[in-house]
């Protein structure tokens, strides 16, 4: 048990565990110390100097984020010297920041903008040379604008330490120092996997997704186009945050109605193809076990993870499941089965996925996921992009009564819903694999693979066989798992990997929350609880129970793993 430390903050007695920072201790006393560069468990470097405080008996100011509490410490957070220092620091940051706030994607949700307002900043107090960097738009998923970068390094720490990718870092020196890629290349020439975790870490508008909003509006307005949307499982758990609703609010019915109000569109449930993915993936796993094909089998529904493997582990590409992701499967089903059934030319069907992930934008552009030059998915919109469309259409989201998904792709199992949380794909697959192998197995809750720890292991007895599984989220954790498998230290049968820590509920396309929320609110748990509650309340708990999947196999796909299903629902990978 940790020793408890007594101190005072603004003359308020506070008792906290040893090792707590002054910044964290102040929060426990309901005192907010502002910060810019600090992100809990990600970045703690004391560089921005916005969180400075006075400590009685000591000269000068101290960064609260890096200073640990001491017995008898007396901290002052709002003295004239502290406020003057913070104000000057913010004004200096603004002196090299391109202040295009009206057109910035982070307008009204910018941490720097809020501090400027709180401290009555004169944005032109220091007028010096303003950098003019070329905006990096080389990838189909993220835009990097160094003209707005404030050198907090939250994105760098996230990319290097949380994700272990290392696509960006500080380059150059002196006044010309900036965040960039090796040799100042565009992101498309790096090992960037498109996870977007840099975007949700950025406090300003220096990083944002490449928007496809205008293309979608144009398609909706085009009388020659039939437009359909489908939404990923986690969107209903997070979209409400864009409309100031508390994290953990389930808004599926409002979301469906809001999308339908954008124009003459149909709205489908991507949980349907999450179920389809499980049926194909469970069948593939069983086939691999029977035929001694490469094991362990890795899940393949996360495009950031797939690109990570294509860059770093060419020798293990055969271990990736060949199943397409739920997004790619839905696009393929819509451009084939749905078009044939409704007498639509596939080039006239405009497919929009709403996803929690910027890597899905890259996935939609992969040539493997198209047919005769026609992409299976025309556009992938992030949660943030959908919210901007809803706001731009003048829809009062909070007051919508809500509606249900459109048929024939409305009904899905709870197993499909939990895809959005780390461990959800594994649990969904185990439910169906256990049923196939045991015949009468009714186990639906696999608790050991739930929760937000970065690496989870479990062993389950299925059909008399010990099945060793592993779940990892965050690519730095994924690298640890892969290296243990490579070295022979670990032997698993089935491994689930998600690129983003916590899974899709914490994806790079999800609502951006300020540091004051991210540092003290467990967003991953609140968001994932929506998915598990929805699963528990669903009459259908297993993917193989899905009537929509059964319809697809009966009418079009034949059986899981068979030629028709394999040609449409499976893919291949490319060493990079």
Between the CA of residue 241 and those of 16, 126, 210, 523, what are the distances in Å? 31, 36, 21, 11
Catalytic residue selected from 111, 280, 281, 385:
281
CA distance linking residue 357 with residue 142, whole number of Å: 11
Catalytic residue selected from 321, 325, 353, 534:
321
Please count the CA atoms within 13 angstroms of the CA of 513 that sit on its side-chain side: 25
Sign of the CA dihedral with 431 first, then 432, 433, and 434 last: positive
CA distance linking residue 299 with residue 560, whole number of Å: 16
Please give the backbone phi and psi of residue 215, each rounded to the nearest 5 degrees, phi first: -65, -40
Identify whether 281 is a catalytic site residue: yes
Ordered DSSP codes for 89-111: HHHHHHHTS---GGG-TTTTS-H
Catalytic residue selected from 48, 301, 323, 470:
301
CA distance linking residue 214 with residue 224, whole number of Å: 17
Token couple for 565: 């299903």
Catalytic residue selected from 284, 385, 427, 545:
284
Closest CA to 358 of 141, 140, 136, 106: 141
* pLDDT score recorded for residue 440: 65
Closest CA to 60 of 36, 85, 35, 78: 85
Contact at 8 Å (CB) between 539 and 411?
no
Q: Is domain 4-78 given the CATH code 3.10.20.740 in the classification?
A: yes
Q: Which residue in this structure is represented by tokens 């992969």?
A: 366
DSSP 8-state secondary structure symbol assigned to residue 555: I
DSSP 8-state secondary structure symbol assigned to residue 317: G
Identify whether 368 is a catalytic site residue: yes
Closest CA to 67 of 94, 107, 38, 92: 38
DSSP 8-state secondary structure symbol assigned to residue 532: H
User: What is the torsion angle, in degrees rounded to the nearest 10, for the CA atoms of residue 215, residue 217, residue 220 and residue 225?
Assistant: -20
Please give the backbone phi and psi of residue 572, each rounded to the nearest 5 degrees, phi first: -135, 170
pLDDT tens per residue, range 291-328: 989 999 999 999 999 999 999 999 999 999 999 999 99
CA distance linking residue 62 with residue 77, whole number of Å: 10
Closest CA to 386 of 239, 169, 566, 266: 239
Sheet bearing 349-355, strands edge to edge: 265-269, 226-231, 349-355, 379-382
Contact at 8 Å (CB) between 469 and 488?
no
Q: Which residue in this structure is represented by tokens 């820590």?
A: 501
Catalytic residue selected from 70, 287, 368, 555:
368
CA angle 18, 21, 24 (to 5 degrees): 110
Token couple for 104: 């910035």
Identify whether 363 is a catalytic site residue: yes
pTM above 0.75, yes or no: yes
* pLDDT score recorded for residue 436: 81
CA distance linking residue 195 with residue 212, whole number of Å: 17
CA angle 40, 154, 164 (to 5 degrees): 90
| Whether the bond into 158 is cis, omega within 30 of 0 | no
Please give the average pLDDT of every successive group of 10 residues along the chain, which has 576 residues: 93 95 95 95 94 94 96 96 97 93 92 95 82 94 96 96 96 88 93 97 97 98 97 97 97 98 98 96 91 95 97 97 97 97 96 97 95 92 98 97 97 95 95 80 84 94 88 98 96 97 97 94 96 95 94 95 93 94
* pLDDT score recorded for residue 465: 83
pLDDT tens per residue, range 491-502: 999 999 999 999
DSSP 8-state secondary structure symbol assigned to residue 449: G
Catalytic residue selected from 54, 363, 385, 427:
363
Beta bridge partners of 63: 52
* pLDDT score recorded for residue 135: 96
Q: Which residue in this structure is represented by tokens 């790096």?
A: 190
CA distance linking residue 292 with residue 285, whole number of Å: 10
Question: 3.40.30.10, 3.20.20.10, 3.40.50.1780, 3.40.50.700: which CATH number matches 214-569?
Answer: 3.40.50.1780
Secondary structure of residue 226 in the 3-state scheme: strand
Q: Which CATH class is domain 126-209?
A: alpha beta
* pLDDT score recorded for residue 129: 78
Identify whether 353 is a catalytic site residue: no
Task: Tell me the domain boundaries of the chain.
Answer: 4-78, 126-209, 214-569
Closest CA to 229 of 266, 273, 270: 266
Catalytic residue selected from 149, 152, 155, 504:
504
Between the CA of residue 393 and those of 213, 296, 389, 514, what are the distances in Å? 12, 47, 6, 25
CA distance linking residue 103 with residue 393, whole number of Å: 17
* pLDDT score recorded for residue 2: 83
Token couple for 528: 């994932």
Identify whether 293 is a catalytic site residue: no
Identify whether 504 is a catalytic site residue: yes
Same fold? 126-209, 214-569:
no
Sign of the CA dihedral with 20 first, then 21, 26, and 30 last: negative
């Amino acid at each position: 048990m940790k020793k408890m430390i007594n101190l005072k903050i603004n003359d308020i007695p506070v008792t906290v565990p040893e090792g707590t920072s002054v910044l964290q201790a102040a929060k426990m006393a309901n005192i907010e110390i502002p910060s810019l560069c600090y992100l809990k468990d990600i970045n703690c470097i004391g560089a921005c100097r916005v969180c400075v405080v006075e400590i009685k008996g000591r000269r000068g100011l101290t960064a609260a984020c890096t200073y640990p509490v001491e017995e008898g410490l007396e901290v002052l957070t709002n003295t004239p010297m502290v406020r003057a220092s913070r104000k000057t620091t913010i004004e200096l940051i603004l002196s090299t920041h391109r202040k295009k706030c009206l057109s910035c994607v982070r307008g009204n949700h910018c941490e720097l903008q809020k501090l400027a307002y709180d401290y009555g900043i004169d944005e032109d107090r220091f007028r010096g040379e303003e950098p003019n960097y070329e905006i990096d738009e080389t990838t189909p998923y993220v835009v990097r604008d160094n003209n707005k970068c404030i050198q907090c390094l939250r994105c760098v720490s996230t990319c290097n330490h949380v994700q272990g990718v290392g696509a960006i870092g500080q380059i150059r020196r002196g006044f010309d120092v900036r965040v960039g890629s090796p040799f100042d290349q565009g992101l498309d020439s790096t090992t960037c996997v498109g996870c977007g975790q840099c975007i949700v870490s950025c406090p300003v508008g220096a990083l944002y997704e490449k928007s496809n909003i205008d293309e979608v509006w144009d398609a909706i307005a085009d009388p020659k186009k039939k437009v359909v949307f489908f939404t990923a499982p986690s969107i209903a758990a997070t979209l409400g945050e864009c409309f100031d609703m508390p994290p953990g609010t389930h808004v599926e019915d409002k979301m469906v109605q809001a999308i339908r109000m954008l124009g003459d569109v149909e709205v489908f449930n991507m949980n349907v193809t999450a179920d389809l993915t499980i049926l194909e993936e469970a069948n593939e796993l069983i086939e691999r076990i029977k035929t001694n094909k490469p094991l362990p089998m890795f899940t393949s529904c996360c495009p950031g993870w797939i690109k990570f493997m294509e860059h770093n582990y060419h020798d293990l590409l055969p271990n990736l499941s060949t199943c397409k992701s739920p997004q790619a499967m839905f696009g393929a089903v819509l451009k084939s089965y749905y078009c044939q059934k409704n007498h639509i030319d596939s080039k006239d069907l405009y497919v929009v996925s709403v996803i929690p992930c910027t890597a899905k934008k890259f996935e939609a552009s992969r040539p493997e996921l198209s047919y005769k030059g026609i992409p299976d998915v025309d556009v992938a919109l992030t949660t943030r992009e959908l919210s901007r469309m809803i706001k731009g259409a003048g829809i009062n989201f909070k007051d919508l009564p809500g509606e249900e998904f459109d048929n024939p792709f409305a009904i899905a199992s709870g197993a499909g819903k939990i895809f959005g949380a780390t461990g959800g794909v594994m649990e969904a697959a185990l439910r169906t694999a256990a049923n196939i192998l045991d015949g009468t197995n009714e186990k639906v809750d696999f608790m050991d693979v739930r929760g937000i720890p970065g690496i989870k292991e479990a062993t389950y007895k299925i059909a008399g066989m010990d099945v060793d599984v592993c779940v990892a989220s965050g690519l730095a954790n994924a690298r640890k798992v892969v290296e243990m498998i490579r070295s022979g230290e670990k032997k698993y049968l089935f491994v689930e990997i998600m690129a983003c820590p916590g899974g899709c509920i914490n994806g790079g396309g999800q609502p951006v929350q300020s540091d004051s929320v991210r540092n003290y609110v467990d967003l991953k748990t609140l968001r994932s609880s929506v998915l598990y509650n929805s699963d528990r309340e669903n009459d259908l708990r297993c993917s193989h129970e899905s009537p929509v999947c059964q319809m697809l196999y009966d009418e079009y796909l034949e059986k899981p793993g068979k030629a028709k299903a394999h040609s449409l629902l499976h893919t291949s990978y490319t060493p990079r």
